């Protein structure tokens, strides 16, 4: 089974001033287990809209997407049970403690009740949050919150993880820590979709990269494949090459 399978996914909305806008326009890709799939694009390219459709927050206007074989349109609950979604806009409950947060997200996502306590303790140990697991989230530092947040994303042990610009608002050290954790999760066999506009992050972490611009995927492959296709070495140059190419093409 392909963990994430996207075909012709499209999102159209009507804007009062701009009329019909295609935020995501007929994109297709598939992700494999133990792979970090990167969505690389500038602000406004359509990354978050794509990931929100995959996590069933937004409904696709056309096309299909499936997570662990479950269609986002027809079986959204099954899709959400199979994935963990992390983004800068998905906040934690400020008035719960770290431990309560993990218990809540494990339970609400259907983790077996008998195993919740053990799972939470394992997460606390793994992410090194034991010291402040009993403190309310609103009293934690940014770095501590980030660890609790990643732990809650994987609380129910989902096979697919989505990280939408996870390093937004983090300092260098916390961003590197985040990358380390995502790498470890890939090593655990998770399928990870990772969106970013930071070239170095994508270069370091992603097994495959899709370059998205104005809602369309203009290129998709490993870094080596992209280098070979464009004849450029640095990801930044590769990205600019595709964006300029897209700019020359008629706007969809």
Partner 1 sequence: MSPATRRIATLFTTELRTMLRDRRTVIMSIVLPVVLMPVFLFAQQLMEERRTRALEARAYTYAVDGVLAEEARPLVAAAAVRGEARSARFREARVDDPGAALERGEVDVVVDATEARAVQEAARHERRGPGRPAALVGADEWLATLPPDLPALTVVYRGDRDASESAAARLRERLGEEQRARRLALASDAGFGAEVEAVLAVREENLSGGDEVAGLALGRVATLLLLVFLFTGGAIVAQDTLAGEKERGTLETLLTTAATRVEIVTAKFLLVLAVGVLIAGVQVANLLVYVGFELIPTSAPLATVVTPALAAGLFLFVLPLAALISAMLLLVSGYARSYREAQINFMPMMLACAGLALAAMMPAVPLRSAIVLVPIANISVGVKEVLVGRADWLFLAIAWAVTAGAAGWTMRLAARTLSTERLIVPSTGETYERPGVPALRPERIFTWFAVMWAVLLLVSLNTGPDFDIRLQLLINLGGIFVGGSFLFMRRFRLDWRETLLLRVPRWEVWVAVLVGAPSGIAVGTGVFQLANRIVPVPVEVLESFGQYLVPEGMSFWMLLPFLTLMPGVCEEIAFRGVLQQSLRRFFRPVPAALLVGIIFGLFHVSLFRLFPTAFLGVLFAAVTMLTGSIYPAMVWHALNNGIALVTGYYGWSLAALEPAGYAAATALLALSFWILWRTRPDADPRSPAPGRT
Binding site for partner 1 (CB under 8 A): 11, 13-18, 21, 23, 41, 43-49, 52, 55-59, 77, 80-81, 83, 85, 87, 89-96, 100, 104-105, 107-110, 113, 136, 156, 165
- Minimum distance between the CB of residue 246 and partner 1, rounded to whole angstroms? 15
N-terminal to C-terminal alpha carbon distance within the chain: 33
- Minimum distance between the CB of residue 159 and partner 1, rounded to whole angstroms? 14
Residue 211: other Cβ atoms inside 10 A? 25
Q: Which 8-state DSSP code applies to residue 136?
A: B
What is the rounded distance in angstroms from the CA atom of residue 173 to the CA atom of residue 142?
A: 12
- Residue 71: which residues within 8 A CB-CB, separation 6 or more? 64, 65, 79
What is the rounded distance in angstroms from the CA atom of residue 121 to the CA atom of residue 34?
A: 25
Contact 7, 62 (CB under 8 A): no
Cβ proximity to partner 1, 138 vs 237, nearer residue: 138
């Amino acid at each position: 089974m392909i963990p994430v399978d996207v075909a012709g996914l499209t999102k159209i909305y009507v804007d009062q001033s701009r009329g019909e806008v295609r935020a995501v326009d007929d994109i297709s890709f598939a992700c494999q287990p133990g792979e970090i799939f990167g969505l690389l694009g500038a602000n406004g390219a359509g990354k978050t809209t794509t990931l929100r459709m995959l996590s069933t927050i937004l409904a696709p206007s056309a096309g299909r997407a499936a997570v662990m074989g479950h269609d986002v349109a027809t079986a959204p609950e099954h899709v959400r049970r199979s994935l963990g979604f992390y983004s800068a806009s998905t906040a934690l409950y400020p008035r719960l403690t770290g431990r309560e947060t993990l218990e809540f997200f494990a339970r609400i996502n259907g983790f077996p009740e008998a195993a919740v306590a053990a799972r939470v303790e394992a997460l606390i140990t793994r992410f090194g949050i034991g010291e402040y697991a009993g403190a309310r989230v609103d009293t934690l530092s940014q770095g501590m919150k980030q660890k609790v947040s990643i732990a809650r994303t994987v609380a129910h042990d989902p096979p697919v993880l989505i990280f939408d610009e996870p390093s937004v608002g983090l300092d260098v050290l916390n961003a590197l820590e985040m990358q380390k954790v995502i790498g470890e999760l890939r090593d655990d066999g998770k399928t990870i979709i990772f969106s970013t506009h930071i070239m170095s992050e994508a270069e370091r972490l992603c097994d495959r990269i899709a370059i998205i611009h104005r809602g369309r995927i203009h290129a998709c492959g490993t870094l080596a494949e992209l280098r070979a296709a464009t004849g450029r070495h640095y990801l930044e140059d590769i990205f600019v090459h595709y964006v300029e190419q897209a700019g020359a093409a008629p706007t969809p």
